[in-house]
Amino acid sequence: AQTVTQSQPEMSVQEAETVTLSCTYDTSESNYYLFWYKQPPSRQMILVIRQEAYKQQNATENRFSVNFQKAAKSFSLKISDSQLGDTAMYFCAFMKHANSGGSNYKLTFGKGTLLTVNP
């Protein structure tokens, strides 16, 4: 079974600064996906960024980028030029690749990191 660990329950950052959220995971799979989801106060789950494990290049999406370290099983999220609208709970999630037996594309989530962006 896969596990996802987010060791920072809460973080805060000043507007316009950069912040990094940590995530580690444990799996015996070699092929999988990793995700960061954002959950604002409205509680909707919004995909921030996705990384395929077979890709060595780190994913980027505008101000959001990841540092994917496959050997260390680490997947951190960097938010640059933080904005007030980035205030939310951030969840790291793992999904087995389709070619892995019994994938079902099920997501396993970490406990989340509450990020507050201060003006």
Partner 1 sequence: EPEVTQTPSHQVTQMGQEVILRCVPISNHLYFYWYRQILGQKVEFLVSFYNNEISEKSEIFDDQFSVERPDGSNFTLKIRSTKLEDSAMYFCASIVGQGIGNTIYFGEGSWLTVV
List residues near partner 1 by CB under 8 A.
33, 35, 37, 42-47, 50, 52, 91, 93, 95, 98, 102, 104-112
CA distances from 19 to 32, 63, 110 (A): 25, 11, 18
The dihedral through the CA atoms of 108, 6, 60, 43 has a sign that is positive
Are the beta carbons of 37 and 58 closer than 8 angstroms? no
Q: Residue 27 Cβ, how far from partner 1 at the closest point, in Å?
A: 15
Q: Residue 40 Cβ, how far from partner 1 at the closest point, in Å?
A: 11
Shorter beta-carbon distance to partner 1: residue 43 or 72: 43
Q: Residue 109 Cβ, how far from partner 1 at the closest point, in Å?
A: 4
Shorter beta-carbon distance to partner 1: residue 15 or 106: 106
